[in-house]
Structure 1
Amino acid sequence: MGMKTFYYILIAISVIFILFGLLFLIAAMQNPDRMHVAMISGFIGSAMAYFSFLAISRINYNSPQNLEPLIFKIAKKNGGYFSAEQIMAKLGVTEKVFTAALDHMLSKGSVVSGEDRDGTMVYRTAAVSLEVKRKCEFCGAEYNVRDSITSCPGCGGNVKMG
């Protein structure tokens, strides 16, 4: 039984505590002494549900499938490159979680390889491609590849892929 299953069972138990709390709250209309039991039962059920949902959320956040798009987003900002230290600092994950996510990405082929730069392993993503622009030879203005221009609208120079 995994930790996630354990927390789902705790949520089911917390629902039972909350229902007992509501039952004792209704019974407290006839006998006010039952109010304390209702409050304690409701508090225990609410606390168990809160911490179980919090733990499930953390487990889901740390899954390799969830971290992969977040790593790609960081890599895209850095031209397709990322390092372990950078990912761990920005996402707030441990080295074990990062290694699991990296192994998942390596097995899928979405990370090409690791290079050693200044003593730091830097990885390149295959999904992030470098942006290609059209550039004017004379004034240096850049245009999207989708724009089918052959001459620069600003200076009239030749526009080439670059």
Structure 2
Amino acid sequence: MNKTIALIVLAGGGLLVSLGLLFMCASVARPERLPLSILLIVIGGGAAAWAGVTWRRLNEIEPERLADRIVEWVRAQGKFETTEAEAIAALAAPASSVHAALEILRSRGEIIADHRHDRLVYVFPNLKESKVERRCPYCGAQFPVKQALSKCPNCGASLELQLN
């Protein structure tokens, strides 16, 4: 199913609803048109609703949008890695779309493919937690950032903040 078919069905559904409303107005003069108007409105409304849902679903599984959804999902999980099967299950998307989305992320440099125990794991290095600590450049002592230290208690040198 492609977007063109959904768009055509949406336009046809809108046309049927409009025609049904026109027949409903005409049923004031001739009441025998009322069942036809109701039928046209129901069929047109159903077709338009189906086309709208289909259009939205096709937009959701586009690889570009799916790539962003994968990053959001991994971030929401609080982890920094996933597999293709996990992404397919979590996002309820076709395997081909998820694979294309992961390739887009790989081409952007947002993920790194890592082979572990005969399976492919995608690692998101930008989502890894980094810890900041105070470190003495001379003696190498490390101190937590929560301690309000500006000088090393061991050697007296100025402490520097470093990512770990």
Question: TM-score normalized by structure 1?
Answer: 0.77
Contact 1:109 1:126 in 2 (8 A): no
Note the C-alpha offset of 1:151: 2.6
Is 2:41 the partner of 1:69? Answer: no
- Quick one: which amino acid aligns to residue 124 of structure 1? V
Whole-angstrom distance in 2 between the partners of 1:151 and 1:85 = 47
> What's 1:52 paired with?
51
- State the secondary structure of the residue aligned to 1:102: helix
- Secondary structure (helix, strand or coil) at the match of 2:122 reads strand
Contact preservation (8 Å) 1:74, 1:82: no
Match of 1:105 in 2: 105
Distance 2:73 2:118 in 1: 20
Q: How many residues align?
A: 150
Measure how far apart 1:88 and its partner are. Answer: 1.3
**Does the 8 Å contact 2:66/2:97 carry over to 1?**
no
Deviations 1:89-140 (A, max 9, x none): 21112211211111222222222x21122332101225434333337967x6
Match of 1:9 in 2: 8
Q: How far apart, in 1, do the equivalents of 2:148 and 2:122 lie?
A: 36
Match of 1:146 in 2: none
Q: Report the Cα distance in structure 2 between the residues aligned to 1:31 and 1:101, rounded to whole angstroms.
A: 57
Structure-1 residue corresponding to 2:149: 151
Query: Which blocks of at least 5 consecutive residues in structure 1 are unaligned?
Result: 144-148
Q: Cα gap change, 1:43/1:90 in structure 2, threshold over 3 Å: closer, same or farther?
A: same
CA distance in structure 2 between the aligned counterparts of 1:132 and 1:43, rounded to whole angstroms: 60
Q: CA deviation at 1:83?
A: 0.9
Identity of aligned residues (%): 20
Q: Is the 8 A contact 1:79 1:130 kept in 2?
A: no
Quote how far apart the aligned CAs of 1:64 are: 1.2
Alpha-carbon spacing, 1:132–1:24, altered in 2? closer, same or farther (3 Å):
same
Q: For the residues of structure 2 that align with 1:26 and 1:3, how far apart are their CA atoms?
A: 35
CA distance 1:3–1:35, change in 2 (3 Å)? same
**Separation of aligned partners in 2, 1:13 and 1:108:** 40
Larger Rg: 2
Aligned equivalent of 1:93 = 93
CA RMSD of aligned residues (A): 2.8
State how far apart, in whole Å, the 2-side matches of 1:16 and 1:93 are: 32
In structure 2, C-alpha distance between the alignment counterparts of 1:103 and 1:71, rounded to whole Å: 12
TM-score by length of 2: 0.76
1:133 match: 132
Residue in 2 that maps onto 1:29: 28
